[in-house]
């Protein structure tokens, strides 16, 4: 295929795969698309290891990296909080709320050896999650390698990110849920806009993909646009490109692939879910993020209970709780199993079969071709 995106990125098909799993990223890049590694959960050491592995696996094929630096979050005016700062700001009633949920659902403590927790660090010097300080460290590791594309998934990329990436000859992308966001990104120097509709998993806005893509395409032309949100099949890819997108950005569809490192219990939930089984909730990150509805989201979306904190306080508040839930969720019928969830979009309703990541790409392109040919036949009739 030949589009502005395939030409710009040097790929065979305009399918970009966002995934936190390096195996998915490698598989999609090898299949002719571009894998984009979500790095927000990585330490700098883990990112170094994964990028070395990834480049060895894919040879000279293109890949990208995605970080999260929100335009505004608690403490951003002061340069961002450290973990120590955040822990001091978390209200006691929120700590009690988390403890009460875990106790009521009978979620056990994490095991601790005789020497205490296995991971120790100076919280006064550790940047908070989703902060510019964290992203800056990850960006420096990434630019020491050779990702072709650097993407910010939440808000406009900070000027230093754009400057550093372009100094190294890398392209910059950013996700947008409104026309104003896309225009702001382009004015800042972004090369690729990902128009992400409300159907998408993770942090997303309220405007549907069908409406959003043509609005953004018209607003930022000739900057190329990728369609995202509710796209995991060839017919959806054809629809996005008919609306003016030059390719697609997919995230959720890889979560049930053979390579995905999705928690097995959550993967089973995904495979059984319908498109109605997701909800935009602030329960994990403090910002609205579409995820699988579970007892966890129900607890935090209860209007009679405490509301979630903002970003980055909420992820620090619930981080250990989620780790405890994930560890205990393997026990069938347990409270932890009921609570377990993860980010996923409305496309989950068709993610009902485990395939290899490469097969997902091939099936998507085959169905895309069939859809385009069917439309062409209607013109010939």
The pLDDT value given to residue 68: 79
- Three-state SS for 202-235 is EECCCCCHHHHHHHHHHHHCCCCEEEECCCCCHH
pLDDT tens-digit readout, 245-275: 999 999 999 999 999 999 999 999 999 999 9
For residue 236, give the nearest of 343, 347, 153 by alpha carbon: 347
For residues 171 and 100, membership in a common domain is answered with: no
Query: Across the chain, what does the average pLDDT equal?
Result: 91
Pairwise CA distance, residues 133 & 125, whole Å: 10
Q: Is position 296 within any domain?
A: yes
For residues 218 and 110, membership in a common domain is answered with: no
Show which of 253, 273, 289 is a domain's final residue.
253
In sequence order, which residues have a C-beta less than 8 Å from that of residue 79 and are 6 or more positions away? 132, 133
- Residue 149's SS3 state is strand
Q: Is position 91 within any domain?
A: yes
For residues 108 and 134, membership in a common domain is answered with: no
For residues 187 and 275, membership in a common domain is answered with: no
For residues 135 and 272, membership in a common domain is answered with: no
Show which of 203, 224, 253 is a domain's final residue.
253
The Cβ of residue 259 has, within 10 Å, a number of other Cβ atoms equal to: 19
Q: Is position 375 within any domain?
A: no
pLDDT tens-digit readout, 309-367: 998 899 999 999 999 999 999 999 999 999 999 999 999 999 999 999 999 999 999 99
The pLDDT value given to residue 125: 38
Q: Is position 349 within any domain?
A: no
CATH number of the domain residue 197 falls in: 3.20.20.70
The pLDDT value given to residue 380: 79
For residues 166 and 81, membership in a common domain is answered with: no
pLDDT tens-digit readout, 196-224: 999 999 999 999 999 999 999 999 999 99
For residues 27 and 56, membership in a common domain is answered with: yes
The pLDDT value given to residue 71: 56
pLDDT confidence tier of residue 117, bands split at 50, 70 and 90: very low
Q: Residue 191: is its pLDDT beyond 70?
A: yes
pLDDT tens-digit readout, 71-82: 555 555 555 567
- Three-state SS for 258-306 is CCCCCCHHHHHHHHHCCCCCEEEECCCCCCCEEEECCHHHHHHCCCCCC
Show which of 202, 218, 253 is a domain's final residue.
253
Q: Is position 357 within any domain?
A: no
The pLDDT value given to residue 128: 55
Question: 218, 244 in Cβ contact below 8 A?
Answer: yes
The pLDDT value given to residue 80: 58
The H-assigned helical ranges of the chain are 4-9, 22-30, 44-58, 83-89, 92-104, 132-143, 159-167, 179-188, 209-220, 234-242, 264-272, 295-300, 313-328, 335-339, 357-380
The pLDDT value given to residue 363: 98
| Bridge-based pairing state of the strands 225-228 and 289-292 | unpaired
The pLDDT value given to residue 118: 40
For residues 93 and 15, membership in a common domain is answered with: no
DSSP label of 62:
-
For residues 151 and 228, membership in a common domain is answered with: yes
The pLDDT value given to residue 119: 38
Domain count, the chain: 2
Q: Is position 114 within any domain?
A: yes
Q: Is position 97 within any domain?
A: yes
pLDDT confidence tier of residue 130, bands split at 50, 70 and 90: low
- Domain housing 282: 76-126+262-339
pLDDT confidence tier of residue 129, bands split at 50, 70 and 90: low
The pLDDT value given to residue 127: 53
Name the β-bridge partners of 13: none
For residues 61 and 132, membership in a common domain is answered with: yes
pLDDT confidence tier of residue 70, bands split at 50, 70 and 90: low
For residues 96 and 222, membership in a common domain is answered with: no
Pairwise CA distance, residues 89 & 297, whole Å: 23
In sequence order, which residues have a C-beta less than 8 Å from that of residue 247 and are 6 or more positions away? 3, 5, 6, 14, 15, 16, 224, 226, 227, 241
For 332, phi then psi, to 5°, come to -60, 135
pLDDT tens-digit readout, 7-62: 999 999 999 999 999 999 999 999 999 999 999 888 899 999 999 999 999 999 99
Residue with the two structure tokens 């890049």: 29
pLDDT tens-digit readout, 154-187: 778 888 889 999 999 999 999 999 999 999 999 9
The pLDDT value given to residue 76: 52
For residues 236 and 313, membership in a common domain is answered with: no
Q: Is position 354 within any domain?
A: no
């Amino acid at each position: 295929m030949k589009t502005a995106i395939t030409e710009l990125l040097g790929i065979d098909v305009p399918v970009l795969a966002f995934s936190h799993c390096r195996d998915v990223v490698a598989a999609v890049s090898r299949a002719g698309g571009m894998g984009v590694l979500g790095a927000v959960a990585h330490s700098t050491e883990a990112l170094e290891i994964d990028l070395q592995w990834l480049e060895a696996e894919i040879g000279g094929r293109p890949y990208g990296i995605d970080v999260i630096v929100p335009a505004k979050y608690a403490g951003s005016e002061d340069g961002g909080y450290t973990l120590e700062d955040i822990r001091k700001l978390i209200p006691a009633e929120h700590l009690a709320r988390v403890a009460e949920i875990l106790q009521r659902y009978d979620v056990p403590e994490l095991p601790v050896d005789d020497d205490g927790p296995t991971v120790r660090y100076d919280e006064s010097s550790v940047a908070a999650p989703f902060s510019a300080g964290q992203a800056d460290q990850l960006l420096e590791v990434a630019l020491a390698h050779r990702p072709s594309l650097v993407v910010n998934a939440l808000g406009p990329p900070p000027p230093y990110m754009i400057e550093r990436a372009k100094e190294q000859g890398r392209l910059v992308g950013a996700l947008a849920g409104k026309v104003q966001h896309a225009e702001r990104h382009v004015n800042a120097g972004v090369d690729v806009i990902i128009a992400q509709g409300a159907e998408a998993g993770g942090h997303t806005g309220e405007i549907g993909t069908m409406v959003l893509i043509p609005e953004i395409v018209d607003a930022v032309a000739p900057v190329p646009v990728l369609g995202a949100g509710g796209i995991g099949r060839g017919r959806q890819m054809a629809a996005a490109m008919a609306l003016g997108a030059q390719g697609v950005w997919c995230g959720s569809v890889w979560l049930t692939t053979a390579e995905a490192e999705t928690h097995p219990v959550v993967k089973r939930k995904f495979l059984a879910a319908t498109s109605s089984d997701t909800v935009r909730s602030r329960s994990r990150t403090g910002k609205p993020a579409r995820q699988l509805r579970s007892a966890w989201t129900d607890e935090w979306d209860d209007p009679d209970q405490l509301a979630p904190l903002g970003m980055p306080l909420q992820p620090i508040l619930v981080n250990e709780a989620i780790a405890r839930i994930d560890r205990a969720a393997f026990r069938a019928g347990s409270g932890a199993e009921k609570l377990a969830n993860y980010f996923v979009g409305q496309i989950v309703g068709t993610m009902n079969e485990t395939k290899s990541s490469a097969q997902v790409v091939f099936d998507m392109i085959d169905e895309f071709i069939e859809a385009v040919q069917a439309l062409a036949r209607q013109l010939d009739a």
